[in-house]
Structure 1
Amino acid sequence: MKPNTRIKNAPRNQEWFLALLPVFPLVLLVLRLWYASKQDTQTLLLLVQTVSPLGMLSAVLLAMLWVLPVVVLGGRLLGTLYRISTGHSSWLVRVAERLPDWVVVLTVVVGAFTWQLRFLPTLAMLALAVMGLTVRDRFPGHAELRTTFCYALPLMAAVLSYVLLWPAIVIAFAEGDVATALLLVLPPGFTALLTGPVPVAPAKVLTHGIAIAIAALTPFLVGVVVIKAPILPLIAMTITDDEKEKDSSSVIVGYLVGSDDQMSTVLDREGRVSFVPNDRLRSRILCPDPGEVPRTSVNLHGWYVEQSMISWLAPALPIVPPDSPDLACQGRFTESAPVPGLTPDLG
């Protein structure tokens, strides 16, 4: 009877999920090109021929780096919380059981390097809550372990977080950045409240409702990030308007689709494609990505809250402030044009 019971309870018809795994990134890539072409079929076909699939795939992988800790830590936290609160099993509990400890640790490390500074207190809250719930679930008879990992360690981490983040918290409140201030202040204080069981009555609605919301919203959030992610270099090209009048010049700002010995293909921000002969090209410069310009000046000793640890530690070019961009990247011609050069072709 036991083998038959296992066969009966075993999940069936799960092949459709494995088939969807490679389909989801492909759908995101097509939507990214469709969004960049402004829903024009001919422009979409041009981008499909010239854009590198590796560049588009990298945008999907970078988006998954910050989504992975949310899914793994959220599933482990909610599943363990439901089991210690009710003592029952469900699909959420089985998901938590299938996430080994080394995967949880690896996702915390990935999140620490890829999440922005303002989200690191939330990451620490989730990691400590998972640790406390795991100790409470696996060692129910050890009161000293429960006191250490469920109460003492979260309180010590909260005090340490407030001490380290205090300069950024002060700047956030001084500038009126309420969202950043709350992200830095609230998670450390709420950590100790997430390491214990919840009442049995709302346990299933709370845990399973949050899990379903995460599962439903994650594809849409990933899609939004991928659609807005840059896949082509943004350039500013200074060209001569008339071959006979060399002094008459204009600037084209757009994304470099392709370049060869004859001409350069540029997609502007309105979705129009321009084919510029190289003999009319005077200069070409690489413009900063508008998404990399900080929207807030809240920082921790030079580490801005919108930067991740890896981007703060790794050497990078200085970001052009939004109040003084290059004139060419604004679409205006300047006499002090840069030295002509070629932008790397990512297509």
Structure 2
Amino acid sequence: MAVGAVPARPGLPDPLKGGRRVRDAPRDQEWLLALLPVFPIVLLVMRLWYASRQDTQTLLLLLQNTSPLGLLSAVLLTTVWVVPALILGGRVLGTLYWISTGHSSWLVRTAERLPGWVVALAVVVGLSAWQLRFLPTLAMLSLAAAGLTVRERFPHHEGLRATVCYALPVMVAVISYVVLWPAIGAAFAARDVATSLLLTLPPGVAVLLTGPVPSVPARVLTHGIAVAMAVFTPFLVGVVVMKAPILPLVALQMAEKEKPRVLVGYLVASDDQMSTVLGREGVVSFVRNDRLESKVLCPDPGEAPRTWVNLHGWYVEQSVISWLAPAPPPAPVDPRCQGRPKD
């Protein structure tokens, strides 16, 4: 050892390297790139399998006539709100483990490979795509990421650390409670436990996530949460994709001898001679076009709202984009979409 050299303490950054941790070169991780396109393909096939009611012949018919773009759109719309959660969660957990222990791991390497602009973009996307009830959680993750980054990069800047790690989370928590108070009161009045917790806990917890945790439980806490996110996220995405519409819902009014009959289902294919419709019960019907009296596109029924809690007309299950978008005028319900012929 050279005279005057300062030995590096175990578990802490080497002072000869300017306080920057040594990046461990990843090895044998090329298989991860091969798995990237596999998950969407599996989801698309499972969605068609679910739509065909587990019938192989119906599945083959859907695979032959369904557009891949229509199937891919369901996966892309789901990743809009999943990706920001993974980016922010990985950045917070990896930085928290490094600050708490000074040791590197796969979680730390993942966090350091996320540039600051990617984290900022994830916050912007989450702000526009997440529902109102999840925005306090987004604010909590954003404040935690900012506070931990300041602790890591500016360890000796006491003023900046006090501002970002303590003053800013407290100020955001006070503003959040003032702004969200009508929705919080409505959630407690409606005994909506999930919405009440999502609106009240994250702003107050944010100030506790900007500092290190004890080094002994740090690995179990951070890596346990990261593994849980990696395991349960595919299942959550799969559930959302399974319920997403992939075919247009139509109502066909057909001429019969006694009275017209209406067939409501999902349009699989249509040409000059015949229309193929997948009924809601999973039965495929082939209808000749010369028997059709009329055809109408039915609106997406969507899911029934689970709660009516709102903030000045902004319901907690709505995102910023859906709330700011102009609401279409209410259209009259076509009786054919309800299975009744139209005179």
Give the TM-score, by structure 1 length: 0.87
Aligned to 1:345: none
Q: Aligned pair in 2 of structure 1 residues 73, 83: CA closer, same or farther (>3 Å)?
A: same
2:198 is the counterpart of 1:198: no
**What one-letter code is carried by the residue in structure 2 that aligns with 1:271?**
G
Report the AA paired with residue 257 of structure 1.
V
Deviations, residues 18-47 of structure 1 (Å, cap 9, x unaligned): 111122211111111111111111111111
Aligned twin of 1:44: 59
Match status 1:109 vs 2:124: yes
Q: Of 104, 122, 133, which aligns to 1:118?
A: 133
1:285 lines up with 2:300 in the alignment: no
- Show the counterpart of 1:262: 273
The Cα of 1:329 is off from its aligned counterpart by: 3.1
The equivalent residue for 1:233 is 248
Which residue number corresponds to residue 82 of structure 1? 97
Give CA deviations for 1:69-126 in whole Å, capped at 9, x if unaligned: 1111111000111111112111111111111100000011111111111111111110
Shifted more, 25-34 versus 256-265: the winner is 256-265
Maintained 8 Å contact 1:288/1:319: no
The answer on whether the counterparts of 2:84 and 2:123 sit within 8 Å (CA) in structure 1 is yes
Structure 1: 5+ residue runs without aligned partners? Answer: 1-8, 338-347
Listed as ranges, the matches of 1:214-229 within 5 Å are 214-229=229-244
Q: Is the 8 A contact 1:293 1:319 kept in 2?
A: no
Question: Secondary structure at 2:37's aligned position in 1?
Answer: helix
Residue type matched to 1:140 in 2? P
SS of the aligned residue for 1:284 comes to strand
- Equivalent position of 1:11 in the other structure: 26
Q: TM-score, normalised by structure 2?
A: 0.88
Deviation at 1:325, TM superposition (A): 6.3
Instruction: Report the count of equivalent residues.
Output: 320
Q: Which of the residues 307, 328, 341 maps onto 2:336?
A: 328
Paired with 1:24 and 1:290, the residues of 2 have a C-alpha distance of 28
CA distance in 1, matches of 2:231, 2:305: 30
User: How far off its partner does 1:182 sit?
Assistant: 1.5
The Cα shift of 1:68 comes to: 0.5
Query: In 2, Cα distance between the equivalents of 1:303 and 1:117?
Result: 8
Corresponding residue for 2:11? none
Q: Is contact 2:147-2:210 (8 Å) kept? A: yes
Q: Partners in 2 of 1:326 and 1:160 — Cα distance?
A: 46
Matched, 1:250 2:261: yes
2:166 aligned residue (130, 146, 151)? 151
Aligned to 1:213: 228
RMSD: 1.9
Does the CA-based 8 Å contact 2:260-2:341 persist in structure 1?
no
- In structure 2, list runs of 5 or more residues that go unmatched: 1-23
Corresponding residue SS for 2:302: helix
Pick from 113, 116, 132: which aligns with 2:147? Answer: 132
TM-superposition CA deviations, 1:300-330 (whole Å, max 9, x none): 222221111112222353578xxx9654333
Alpha-carbon distance in structure 1 between the residues aligned to 2:136 and 2:330 = 25
% identity of equivalent residues: 73
Measure, in 1, the Cα distance between the counterparts of 2:225 and 2:196: 24
Which letter does structure 2 place at the counterpart of 1:55? G
Name the CA distance, whole Å, in 1 between partners of 2:73 and 2:213: 40
**Which 4+ residue blocks in structure 1 deviate beyond 6 angstroms?**
none
Shift of 1:282: 2.9
